Amino acid sequence: MIQMLDDVADGDPVTRSDLDAVIWSSLISMPANPFYLANFQALQAGLALLVMKWKASDDAERTGQADARSFIWRAGYYDLVLLVVLLTKGHATAMKDAVKVMHLYGEQLDAYLKEFP
């Protein structure tokens, strides 16, 4: 969902099937998901932070201020992944696996900075 919404914001092409899937996922599937319902307050807060960090990153990129900080902001999705590990596996596992989760972010800083002249 997040990537497609970012594509829309950037004016990148989005297929109708992808749009239909995101509409269904965001309005029907996610709000009805038992895990989401049971952890709504924590997940909603995590999603709010993710959106604000994405917006800050996008604003920096659009105004020629992209740098190492905006690179970090756009990785907010992995904050949410780590929150899910905490909610499902507990504090000890989340602390032990935090670096593994954060290493899931595959984009490299130098590649990111090359996107912005």
What are the pLDDT digits (tens) for 84-104? 999 999 999 999 999 999 999
Compute how many other C-beta atoms are within 10 angstroms of the C-beta atom of residue 44: 11
- Residues with Cβ within 8 Å of 85's Cβ and at least 6 positions away in sequence, in order, are 93, 94, 97, 98, 101
Rounded Cα gap, residues 24 and 40, in angstroms: 18
- What pTM value is reported for the model? 0.85
The residue type at 76: G
Eight-class DSSP state of 13? -
Residue corresponding to tokens 């190492």:
68
- CA-to-CA dists, residue 77 to 6, 16, 64, 68, 117, angstroms: 12, 24, 23, 17, 25
Domain ranges of the chain: 1-32, 36-114
Q: What is the pLDDT of residues 25-70, one digit of tens each?
A: 999 999 999 999 999 999 999 999 999 999 999 999 999 999 999 9
In the block, tokens 């959106």 appear at 51
